[in-house]
Amino acid sequence: MTNPWRVWKALKLAEHYIGIRYKWAGKTPAGFDCSGLVCELLQSVGLLPDKTTLSSRGLYAKYKDRTVDTPHAGCLLFYGRSKITHVAIALDNELMIEAGGGDSRTKQLVDAILRRAFVRRRRINRRSDLVAVCDPFQ
């Protein structure tokens, strides 16, 4: 059963991180990549052990048995074409928070600025490569 308090806490923290720069392999508030952000949020509510870092594919492997049909608050959104390459967290059935816009070349603040790569709020359907929606709070 979904714990609404945990969902609320994770989403409040995600909103607090909006504007933090994207950093490839980043897993702290000094800079996040997509999976680093999601791991930080899940750790903050006790769903992942501290210091656990999983890739977007690793997070999917962990939560794929919790697939849901429709996104709702707290769901993880997995994107990719031939393999999963991105993960975000749903605010509701239309919006998500993601660390996005960067890639393996986004390692410095100037790189993030040039690519407009930050933690940000986006529409879920902005990307056409949604692979799965999973609820880690179930």
**Three-class DSSP labels, 47-77:** CCCCCCCCCHHHHHHHHHHHECCCCCCCCEE
Number of folded domains that form the chain: 1
> 39 is written with which tokens?
């791991």
**Mean pLDDT across 101-130:** 95
Can you tell me the distance from the alpha carbon of 99 to that of 71, in angstroms, rounded to the nearest whole number?
18
Banded pLDDT at 1 (limits 50, 70, 90): low
Span 41-97, pLDDT tens digits: 999 999 999 888 899 999 999 999 999 999 999 999 999 999 999 999 999 999 999
Q: Which domain holds residue 54?
A: 4-134
Label residue 38 exposed, middle or buried (CB < 10 Å: 0-12, 13-18, 19+). buried
DSSP percent split of the chain into helix, strand, coil, nearest 5: 35, 25, 40
pLDDT of residue 3: 81
At 83, which CATH number? Answer: 3.90.1720.10
Q: pTM for the whole thing?
A: 0.96
> 7 is written with which tokens?
């969902």
Can you tell me the distance from the alpha carbon of 39 to that of 41, in angstroms, rounded to the nearest whole number?
5
> 59 is written with which tokens?
């997070």
> 120 is written with which tokens?
């940000």
Q: What is the mean pLDDT of the chain?
A: 96
The residue type of 48 is: L
Site of tokens 């909103």: 15
